Amino acid sequence: MVFDYIYADKRLADVIKQQLLRLQVVAIKAALIDRSFFARRQHPMRRLIDRISEVAADPDADLAIGSELVKGVESVVESVLQNFEQDLSIFDQARSRIDELAAQEQTRCAERLVRVTREAERSEALSEGAELARARLADRIDSETPVFLRDFLNQWWSRVLSMAHLDGGGDPAAFDEAMTTAEALIWSVAPKLPDEVGKLAAMLPKLIGAVMRGVRQLSVPEEVRERFFNELLQAHTRSIAAAKQAAATAAARRPTNVAMRSDGRIQFKRVNPPVAEQSVVERQAQCQSVRLETLKRGAAIELLAADGQWRSFKLSWVSPQQRLYVLSRFPDEARSLDRTQLAELFDCNEARLGESRSSVDQAIDSINKEPQPA
């Protein structure tokens, strides 16, 4: 009955189920020698079956016919069939060999996942850098800064700043240049005096060129890019028109956090507090159905596919800040999900935790729950 349940376990690859079924007679002999098989998880034969089942349930393992792992399991099973008589220690030796095969397979899996993991690590580093960049931008933004520009700086230019810091290898020059562009953008839409209109006109070609390079680097969607530049043009037009009509003096004008010096350079000096609604820290998404912080590498997670079937993945990598998760499945299907995306999948019942019990434990529990004949 235990082996019937194991054979029905959909987590296990058929090619390994066949090897487990070959062990039925040996399992009966081992259970008769040591009858604690059903009561004790540490029974040598039970531990061997559990370990083989665990390998067979790994979504990221290469369990194709003829693979190194499958051939290794076949060899171990054949050795047990040929050599077992009375000594239960043969099962411990066989399990050690399965452990070696599993370690070798994990090494191959890690090599396949190097690219995805590196991309995920970079993505998290960029996310952290963008948070710091938004904090720096918040010092420069004030109530005179239009909402469209605040949104652009926080959503997009913070990433440009983060990439400049990360790819610059610690050299502050690239970051400072990107921050200077942000400061110039803020100044360009701020209220101006008549004598500043010419300075704005002189700086615009270089400024627009720098912004264009940044949005191309980020691959900002075309519709977003066009809308931003249209709004920027309108803001410049309004600023120039207001300056030409203004009779105010520099002393009467309300100071802003960025200003142009006499040499034409933009200078940051905080004179106004950050805008109240400015949010500079991204909160981690909370999942209502699963405690994401408890997920560990190696956990089985099932995702609902487009055909309505559940597909098993392994949680192969979790970022140190628990912002990004890499799910993998052999041969090369791997995906990186941020915390928000994974939380939404669980809460929408499109993701669920896989069975964590061993095949034997699950089989024995199921048998015990069946009604007994009177």
Q: From CA 204, how far away is CA 188, in angstroms rounded?
A: 8
Cis before residue 371, ω within 30 degrees of 0? Answer: no
Rg of the chain, C-alpha, whole Å = 31
| Chain position carrying tokens 């502050």 | 172
Listed as ranges, residues in the chain with pLDDT below 50 are 248-252, 276-283
pLDDT (tens digit, 9 = 90+) per residue, 119-143?
A: 888 888 888 888 889 988 988 888 8
How do strand 333-338 and strand 300-304 relate by DSSP bridges? unpaired
Distance of CA 29 to CAs 19, 34, 36, 201, Å?
17, 9, 12, 91
pLDDT at residue 241, as a whole number: 85
> Is the Cβ–Cβ distance between 142 and 272 less than 8 Å?
yes
The pLDDT score that the predictor gives to residue 75 is: 96
What's the confidence (pLDDT) of residue 258?
75
Question: For the CA atoms of 225, 231, 233, 234, what is the dihedral angle to 10 degrees?
Answer: 160
Look up residue 276 and give its amino acid.
Answer: A
The whole-number pLDDT of residue 47 equals 92
Structure tokens at 31: 């259970």
Return the DSSP state at 292: G
Model pLDDT, residue 246: 61
Q: What DSSP state is assigned to residue 273?
A: P
What are the sequence ranges of the domains in the chain? 2-112, 118-268, 284-353
295 — alpha (psi -120 to 50), left (phi > 0) or beta? beta
Q: Which residues contact 170 (CB under 8 A, 6 or more apart)?
A: none
* Cα–Cα distances in angstroms (integers) from residue 77 to residues 37, 81, 93, 95, in the given order: 19, 6, 11, 10
Domain covering 284-353, topology: SH3 type barrels. (2.30.30)
CA pair distance 189, 153, nearest whole angstrom: 13
Residue 345 is predicted with a pLDDT of 93
**pLDDT for res 190:** 86
* Distance between CA atoms of residues 193 and 197, nearest Å: 7
